[in-house]
């Protein structure tokens, strides 16, 4: 693994125990609404196979499970053992047997081509430097007509809300995050990485280059989160 990957992996290993709590607190519980919107948009059918890349503590995988009946199987994949351990505990608590967890790198997916009907990635793509390669890897494991859903934190484009948001995001959020997580780096890395993430139009072009068609995006909560959807032809 290279230095950047190690940095991200170790950071998530460290903050895993406080991750869910801080997500709910810092987003005022909007994170649950955003994941719900993503799963609805992919609308996997009964008996689908869904891949949740960068699954972390399994909130997306569990959201998929709660929407679906039948023999739908979800694979949650993440390279942080710390995050997966927390996710596994949630699955056991909820007696969920439809989700399998895998410790692997999103850039090196251990699956045969066209194995999944849908691929989701929530708040994960921003941490992957080679996003083009990641999108291509997601494309390869999707079957024809399968959908990719990418949910990511983005920066509101203009107006007073942008200024207020940047104040909260760059000054207040890192203080709250480091206080509760005891980790000074992680919650400074968060705004830095979001500000470096491409605009929705640029990221849509990247999905297009990876081969996706019918790409659309929806900005939510004044543009602080964007949901991208693409389909494999």
Ligand X SMILES: C[S@@+](CC[C@H](N)C(=O)[O-])C[C@H]1O[C@@H](n2cnc3c(N)ncnc32)[C@H](O)[C@@H]1O
Q: Does 135 bind ligand X (CB under 6 A)?
A: no
Among residues 124, 174, 191, 230, the one that binds ligand X under rule CB under 6 A:
124
Sorted by sequence, the CB contacts under 8 Å of residue 41 that are 6+ apart come out as 149, 218, 227, 229
109-117, 118-126, 141-149, 173-181 -> range binding ligand X (CB under 6 A)? 118-126
CB-nearer residue toward ligand X: 1 or 47: 1
CA distance 49 to 71: 9
| Contact between residue 62 and residue 94 where contact means Cβ atoms under 8 Å apart | yes
DSSP state of 222: G
Among 128, 137, 142, 210, binds ligand X (CB under 6 A): 128
Contacts of 190 (CB under 8 A, 6+ apart): 153, 173, 174, 177
CA distance 127 to 6: 11
Pick the piece of the chain touching ligand X (CB under 6 A) from 51-59, 141-149, 180-188, 199-207.
51-59
Per-residue contact string for residues 7-36; x = within reach of ligand X by CB under 6 A: -xx--x----------------------x-
Smaller CB separation from ligand X, 2 or 144: 2
The encoded tokens of residue 112 equal 């045969």
Least distance from C-beta 120 to ligand X, angstroms? 8
Query: Which member of 106, 119, 141, 225 binds ligand X (CB under 6 A)?
Result: 106
56 binds ligand X (CB under 6 A): yes
Q: Does 38 bind ligand X (CB under 6 A)?
A: no
Pick the closer one to ligand X by CB: 47 or 195: 195
Q: How many residues bind ligand X (CB under 6 A)?
A: 21
Which residue is associated with the tokens 């994941």?
A: 35
Q: Which is nearer to ligand X, 130 or 159 (CB)?
A: 130
Least distance to ligand X, CB of residue 80, Å: 3
What whole-number distance in Å separates Cα of residue 185 and Cα of residue 187?
6
Cα–Cα distance measured from residue 208 to residue 73, given in angstroms and rounded to the nearest whole number: 27
* Strand ranges of the sheet holding 213-220, from the earlier edge strand across to the other edge: 99-103, 73-78, 49-53, 116-122, 142-153, 225-231, 213-220
Chain residues in the site for ligand X (CB under 6 A): 8-9, 12, 35, 54-56, 59-60, 78-80, 83, 105-107, 122-124, 127-128
């Amino acid at each position: 693994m290279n230095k950047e990957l190690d940095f991200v992996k170790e950071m998530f290993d460290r903050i895993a125990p406080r991750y869910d709590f801080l997500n709910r607190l810092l987003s005022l519980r909007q994170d649950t609404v955003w994941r719900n919107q993503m799963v609805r948009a992919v609308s996997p059918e009964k008996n689908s196979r869904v891949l949740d890349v960068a699954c972390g503590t399994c909130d997306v995988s569990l959201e998929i499970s709660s929407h679906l009946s039948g023999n739908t199987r979800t694979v949650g994949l993440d390279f942080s053992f710390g995050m997966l351990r927390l996710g596994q505990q949630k699955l056991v608590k909820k007696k969920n047997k439809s989700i399998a967890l895998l410790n692997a790198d999103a850039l090196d997916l251990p699956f045969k081509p066209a194995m999944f009907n849908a691929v989701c990635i929530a708040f994960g793509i921003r941490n992957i430097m080679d996003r083009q390669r990641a999108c291509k890897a997601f494309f390869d494991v999707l079957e024809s007509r399968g959908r990719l859903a990418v949910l990511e934190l983005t920066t509101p484009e203009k107006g007073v809300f942008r200024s207020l948001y940047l104040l909260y995001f760059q000054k207040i959020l890192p203080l709250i995050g480091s206080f509760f997580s005891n980790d000074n780096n992680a919650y400074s890395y968060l705004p830095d990485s979001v500000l470096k993430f491409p605009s929705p139009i640029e990221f849509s072009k990247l999905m297009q280059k990876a081969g996706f068609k019918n790409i659309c995006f929806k900005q939510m909560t004044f543009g602080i989160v964007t949901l991208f959807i693409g389909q494999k032809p």
